[in-house]
Amino acid sequence: MTDQTATRTGWLAPDELQSIRERVPLVYVDAVPVRVDDTGHVTHVGLLLRVMADGTISRAIVSGRVLYGERVRDALLRHLEKDLGPVALPRLPTSPAPFTIVEYFPEPDISGFHDPRQHAVSLAFVVPVDGDCVPSHSSIDLAWVTPQEAVSEEVRRDMTGGHDRLLRLALGYAGCLP
């Protein structure tokens, strides 16, 4: 891939991205995949098992960068397909407004959301998925847990960077926080 192509497609060389990461906050999207019943009520939450930015293996939600020139909706769809496979059939919300924003900082204490690599502002969405989910890419596994299980101490312990808290915010938004 030539440099010109890289710029046009939004992909950046590692050192270039590293340099930018020290200068501006990056735009991210976070997606909490859910199973819903006929009335839209959330019955299960999808948790990936993946290698995190800090090297640990953790339960995590779908998360990734918005590229230069990319629509937020397209970034959401791209990251959902990357992590859940091509037949997950995600149902993106009709509103472009995230249910909350997550401010990740290299320092753990500023907002409670932590990413050692960067300052990122993430738009968070709850996304029902109807199809078969096949953890692909860097994800090792995908588990579906009930809202009750999602707020348990066990799941909290397995999540890093504040993702356990984001999960509770998502359940609150969906009206099913226990």
CB 52 within 8 A of CB 160: yes
CA distance 13 to 3: 8
Burial class from Cβ neighbours inside 10 Å (0-12, 13-18, 19+) for residue 40 reads: exposed
Burial class from Cβ neighbours inside 10 Å (0-12, 13-18, 19+) for residue 148 reads: exposed
Q: Which stretch binds its own copies (CB under 8 A): 55-63, 72-80, 134-142, 152-160?
A: 72-80
Which token pair is 7? 């710029």
- Residue 25 or 143 with smaller CB distance to its own copies: 25
What mask, x for binding its own copies by CB under 8 A, covers residues 134 to 153?
Answer: --------------------
CA distance 21 to 143: 32
Give the number of other Cβ atoms within 10 Å of residue 177's Cβ.
14
CA distance 15 to 17: 5
What mask, x for binding its own copies by CB under 8 A, covers residues 75 to 104?
Answer: -xx-------------xxxxxxxxxxx-x-
What mask, x for binding its own copies by CB under 8 A, covers residues 48 to 67?
Answer: ------------------xx
- Residue 49 or 70 with smaller CB distance to its own copies: 70
What part of residues 107-126 is at the interface with its own copies (CB under 8 A)? 110-111, 119, 121, 123, 126
- Residue 1 or 97 with smaller CB distance to its own copies: 97
User: Is 131 an interacting residue with respect to its own copies (CB under 8 A)?
Assistant: no
Task: Identify the residue among 7, 56, 138, 148 touching its own copies (CB under 8 A).
Answer: 7
Task: Identify the residue among 9, 54, 57, 73 touching its own copies (CB under 8 A).
Answer: 73
